[in-house]
């Protein structure tokens, strides 16, 4: 089966010029070219899977992502997206911890957990336990600082417009996923629950904890509910707890990810924003909606 090499430029840093496209086209022995967005994204059809080293050499270290997909079934019927450092720019638990004066301590644990150095559930319990007694007003203050990653609304809006099921699935907390899901337009959201006594956090979470295995199971459940194979799914995330669903999805994307995730993902977005996931499915910028 023919393959498609999609080039996506980080428009904040560079432009996908005709010269760059031609250089890559020649390097991979392209057979056809399709511009998806002037100066931003292009598809190059290839008879055989292109050599990654040839692509890297042709790009000459420019901030341009290169994603290879099969020519058939590019547009996915199910999207499962991580929240922290994926759909939103920060780590909500770390930001919440700043209100307790222990932001750096919790961020250090988060980093090790996302790098796969700690058991996720254990690390989550430890961090939440450190927040015992934090007033609920801190949750509202944290929410005020949450920022969407560029392209988040376009990704979800465009896939919804083309009848995809979209889910926000996070090892974080429903307080945030519910609001982010409503803001961005996800059909459903799943996450962990922070327990409180009506005034402050108790330092406990609801059970069971949603972890990396839960994310994979949710991806499978959504695919089954839609009656599609896993090849028709897209999963995106940045941390070790996203790795299982990224491995199994038809298009698994490591988004500005930790090394352990980037190394094993089928596709990587290291420079651009979430619009890249639409271009990787063959969408043109003129088809985007939800911005």
Rounded Cα gap, residues 110 and 92, in angstroms: 11
Pairing assessment for the beta strands 251-255 and 165-173 based on DSSP bridges: unpaired
User: Is 2 in a helix, a strand, or coil?
Assistant: coil
Q: Is 94 a catalytic residue?
A: no
The helix or strand, by DSSP H or E, that contains position 214, with its residue range, turns out to be helix 212-226
**Residue among 169, 155, 167 at smallest CA distance from 285:** 155
Q: Which of 65, 84, 238, 244 is catalytic?
A: 84
Residue whose structure tokens are 């944290």 = 142
Residue 30, CA distances (Å) to 7, 16, 46, 112 in order = 13, 17, 5, 41
Q: What is the DSSP letter of 102?
A: -
* Phi, psi (deg, nearest 5) at residue 120: -60, -50
Tell me the β-bridge partners of 237: 254
Rounded Cα gap, residues 220 and 69, in angstroms: 21
Q: Which of 65, 82, 94, 238 is catalytic?
A: 82
Kindly give, in sequence order, each residue whose CB lies less than 8 Å from that of residue 139, ignoring residues fewer than 6 positions away: 96, 175, 194
Residues 171/178/259/223 CA torsion (nearest 10 deg): 80
Q: Is 242 a catalytic residue?
A: no
Q: Which residues are catalytic?
A: 82, 84
């Amino acid at each position: 089966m023919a393959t498609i090499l999609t080039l996506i430029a980080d428009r904040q840093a560079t432009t996908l010029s005709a010269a760059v496209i031609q250089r890559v086209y020649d390097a991979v022995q392209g057979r056809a070219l399709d511009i998806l967005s002037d100066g931003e994204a292009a598809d190059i059809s290839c008879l055989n899977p292109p050599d990654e080293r040839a692509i890297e050499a042709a790009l000459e270290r420019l901030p341009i992502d290169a994603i290879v997909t099969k020519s058939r079934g590019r547009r996915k019927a199910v999207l499962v997206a991580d929240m922290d450092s994926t759909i939103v720019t920060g780590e909500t638990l770390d930001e919440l911890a700043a209100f307790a004066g222990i932001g750096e301590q919790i961020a250090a644990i988060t980093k090790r957990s996302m790098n796969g150095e700690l058991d996720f559930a254990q690390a989550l319990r430890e961090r939440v336990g450190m927040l015992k007694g934090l007033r609920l007003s801190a949750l509202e203050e944290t929410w005020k600082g949450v920022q969407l990653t560029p392209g988040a609304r376009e990704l979800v809006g465009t896939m919804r417009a083309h009848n995809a099921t979209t889910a926000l699935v996070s090892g974080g907390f429903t307080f945030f996923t519910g609001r982010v899901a409503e803001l961005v337009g996800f059909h459903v959201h799943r996450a962990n629950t922070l327990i409180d006594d009506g005034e402050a956090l108790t330092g406990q979470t609801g059970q069971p904890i949603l972890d990396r295995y839960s994310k994979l199971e949710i991806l499978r459940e959504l695919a089954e509910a839609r009656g599609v194979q896993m090849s028709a799914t897209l999963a995106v995330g940045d941390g070790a707890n996203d790795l299982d669903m990224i491995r199994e999805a038809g298009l698994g994307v490591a988004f500005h990810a930790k090394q352990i995730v980037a190394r094993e993902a089928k596709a990587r977005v290291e420079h651009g924003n979430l619009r890249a996931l639409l271009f990787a499915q063959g969408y043109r910028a003129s088809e985007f909606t939800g911005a």
